[in-house]
Structure 1
């Protein structure tokens, strides 16, 4: 009994040291607002939050009779919606479940909602989602996924369907457990993808895919809800590709004319079918030797053993042909996504954490890479907030608008004129409850990567 009491005390201290439950209304005055809609920044705006909801957005002079209210001075700061990361796993290669280390990292970086986009440990993922929902643990709102579904020749740790009945029963099983998304992987056969989409939609869940055997066009026409990784996983333009197989070569990644009629037709088809694309730029950048670096903040969070894997990462390298090739590919991936967005497509974003790219910090890096790709600051924020919510079918989050849930981030600085302000998280609010990023990160030092 004494041991249980001590565990409860430790848990209580861990949770409440990083969060502050505020019962009275909050007024954030004279702050720069990027609301997530893609519209221009609004300067010196004041925002009233009551009961976890945005109640009023106006000039400070239009707020009268302010009593029993917490006032926060937003001068020289920026407010954005909480980031909605929609390729934000709770695992990385070699570590099937990152638990509260990952969830706290996401939240500390300003990510208030995640779609995990495939689960390596689905039971644990569902359990931690429930703990966060009930306030027993700290982290973003988690939209949980089922196990990956692939095909013959695929990863043996994933579900490889045997027949239609087995596949439909599997989807029903996980949907009843609380899963909201299913992710199909590279070797999925066309007939099984059609079944996954059909049964998932019957059970009010959605489907995304890291594709190869099936083209973007084919999957979109089948009714898939989203596709991951953009140009890097397009198989529509592979040479010598066999129908329904993950085959053929990838010359297209270097040679495809992105202004061609064929590319326009594909993008138009995706837009027509409302197929969402998810950008994962930060993890691709991590594969470019000349661009890879380990920032000090990430190094402090890594365990000593895990950090050892990247001890030479910041050693200057000569730019070799591999780096040059991959650098050009990154630019082409960016151009593909930019073209899709500008044509009216729904582009969302997620970190796909791995290598030295950590949960949350990689989401912040995505913002910087979207800016590098040519997106304006309001466009990049829209991709990472409103469009993520659109992918999830959520209308209560993703923008700072009257009546929506008060998920937001206060940044210390002017994000429009200084893009690195995205890393200067001063406070995070989820459903009106505030979290201190410094305290969250302090608790995580030296823990990431421990089994």
Structure 2
């Protein structure tokens, strides 16, 4: 079948219009046209609406993921799961035998690349199988788990998905969290330097390429973690508190999570190396001040990325902490009861927590400024409370726009920037030679990123409705 598809494409190449000859010559020599994609098991194919080796998408509005404005009336040719051409319809003849999909009135964006997308939530150390389905149905085609409560289960699920035996995004796995004395006892609390080295060696030999440090990690331990991880071609990110952004940057950390909410550089009465000090800085700090910009510039100069997790912070703001109907539908009875208890507490107290609302706005301002200064801003859902995998990623897009990013910029943050920090150049943008991981949105993505019609991964077109109809009450029911 794949050889037939390639022959059909070559026939089309030979008979194409003169004004697109150079485009087709490039196509013919593109090695990606000869690539073969993973075959999917029958239990996965039941969610797939389009599985043709040769696809032609016409009349599409396309955001390429690079921060550029949308291109309208585009035709996209996909062969064996890779983009072969993205041009105006008038510039190309459609391959004979291709499956044609008319996308008039619809928008294409790259598949979302989430880089703080756990496969666990509080009280549930592994929700990978349900989370994976929710991620993919929402347009998330690649995730980095940013700390794991069950690393071996993550690795096994990642392999099953890669082999076409389970449905979900491509999973970039993480090792167990590192923390320090006084931290979560379920995390790695290093006994000594060898304990750190042995832990990193063990998990990198099993394919893990990311480690996350948590709030109580000491500067001396962080230095060892970074050095050892880098020796083994792995990266380190952190939810910081005991360590300042400045310290972590100077020690060589690759990324920092949660933005202003985990910045301890400006805490009053802080003990260096200890997670303490007041959080008044969240209310008093001038975001566009010289000291804040200097810190952000230091991160930028050292190629330290910043991950936005706006959706989970919003879930703690009383006048914003409302679960939408689709979220309640997929949540287990236990998670719904927890949500109703929190919501009842907010309502009973008649709380209008302006402090948290203002802090959310300041977190947004911090991230917007970092991005505009040239920093690499990424995003992830950090699922918890009533923020569920996938749906929360979509909410992040809306909140990034509320923070002041344009549609093009928000898409870039959530796609190509994520691919960049994951060292995955084959994904994150829509361009010739890249993997056909993308999302089709009904209407204008600017207005409704939640209106996902199809999710393509490796050129297979998954139907979100078929996935979600099986998810009622499943999330948090493991």
What range describes the TM-score normalised by the shorter chain of this pair? Answer: over 0.9
User: Tell me, what secondary structure is at the counterpart of 1:258?
Assistant: coil
Give the superposition deviation at 1:318. Answer: 8.5
Report if the CA contact (8 A) 1:290-1:319 is conserved.
Answer: no
Instruction: Tell me, in whole angstroms, the C-alpha distance in 2 between the residues paired with 1:243 and 1:21.
Output: 56
User: Tell me, what secondary structure is at the counterpart of 1:245?
Assistant: coil
* 2:167 paired with 1:142: no
Identify the residue that residue 202 of structure 2 maps to in structure 1.
Answer: 173
Report if the CA contact (8 A) 1:294-1:314 is conserved.
Answer: no
Give the superposition deviation at 1:449. Answer: 1.1
Identify the residue that residue 23 of structure 2 maps to in structure 1.
Answer: none
Give the superposition deviation at 1:317. Answer: 4.1
CA distance change for structure 1 residues 305 and 319 in 2, over 3 Å: closer, same or farther? closer
Instruction: Tell me, in whole angstroms, the C-alpha distance in 1 between the residues paired with 2:249 and 2:98.
Output: 49
Identify the residue that residue 278 of structure 2 maps to in structure 1.
Answer: 249
Report if the CA contact (8 A) 2:52-2:99 is conserved.
Answer: no
Q: After TM superposition, list the pairs within 5 Å mapping 1:109-258 onto structure 2.
A: 109-258=138-287
* 2:398 paired with 1:368: yes
Report if the CA contact (8 A) 2:319-2:352 is conserved.
Answer: no
Gaps of 5+ in 2: 1-39
Instruction: Tell me, in whole angstroms, the C-alpha distance in 2 between the residues paired with 1:165 and 1:394.
Output: 31
Identify the residue that residue 101 of structure 1 maps to in structure 2.
Answer: 130
CA distance change for structure 1 residues 87 and 64 in 2, over 3 Å: closer, same or farther? same
Give the superposition deviation at 1:123. Answer: 0.8
* 2:458 paired with 1:431: yes
CA distance change for structure 1 residues 407 and 17 in 2, over 3 Å: closer, same or farther? same
Give the superposition deviation at 1:307. Answer: 1.5
Instruction: Tell me, in whole angstroms, the C-alpha distance in 1 between the residues paired with 2:277 and 2:414.
Output: 33
Report if the CA contact (8 A) 1:209-1:227 is conserved.
Answer: yes
Report if the CA contact (8 A) 1:293-1:313 is conserved.
Answer: no
Identify the residue that residue 366 of structure 2 maps to in structure 1.
Answer: 336
Q: Please provide the CA RMSD for this pair.
A: 1.6
Q: After TM superposition, list the pairs within 5 Å mapping 1:333-412 onto structure 2.
A: 333-412=363-442
Instruction: Tell me, in whole angstroms, the C-alpha distance in 1 between the residues paired with 2:323 and 2:372.
Output: 32
Give the superposition deviation at 1:440. Answer: 0.5
Instruction: Tell me, in whole angstroms, the C-alpha distance in 1 between the residues paired with 2:157 and 2:114.
Output: 17
Report if the CA contact (8 A) 2:270-2:278 is conserved.
Answer: yes
Instruction: Tell me, in whole angstroms, the C-alpha distance in 1 between the residues paired with 2:347 and 2:394.
Output: 25
User: Tell me, what secondary structure is at the counterpart of 1:422?
Assistant: coil
Instruction: Tell me, in whole angstroms, the C-alpha distance in 1 between the residues paired with 2:350 and 2:213.
Output: 35
Aligned length: 438
Instruction: Tell me, in whole angstroms, the C-alpha distance in 1 between the residues paired with 2:343 and 2:441.
Output: 28
Instruction: Tell me, in whole angstroms, the C-alpha distance in 2 between the residues paired with 1:322 and 1:270.
Output: 35
CA distance change for structure 1 residues 59 and 319 in 2, over 3 Å: closer, same or farther? farther
Give the superposition deviation at 1:391. Answer: 1.4
User: Tell me, what secondary structure is at the counterpart of 2:371?
Assistant: helix
Gaps of 5+ in 1: 1-10
* 2:473 paired with 1:443: no
Q: Cα deviations across residues 9-30 of structure 1 (Å, max 9, x unaligned)?
A: xx96642211256243111111
Give the superposition deviation at 1:302. Answer: 1.3
Identify the residue that residue 36 of structure 2 maps to in structure 1.
Answer: none
Instruction: Tell me, in whole angstroms, the C-alpha distance in 1 between the residues paired with 2:417 and 2:292.
Output: 22
Report if the CA contact (8 A) 1:35-1:401 is conserved.
Answer: yes
Give the superposition deviation at 1:245. Answer: 1.1
Report if the CA contact (8 A) 1:220-1:269 is conserved.
Answer: yes
Give the superposition deviation at 1:311. Answer: 3.1
Report if the CA contact (8 A) 1:29-1:75 is conserved.
Answer: yes
Give the superposition deviation at 1:441. Answer: 0.4
Deviates more, 1:320-329 or 1:81-90: 320-329
CA distance change for structure 1 residues 60 and 270 in 2, over 3 Å: closer, same or farther? same
Instruction: Tell me, in whole angstroms, the C-alpha distance in 2 between the residues paired with 1:376 and 1:96.
Output: 36
Identify the residue that residue 21 of structure 2 maps to in structure 1.
Answer: none
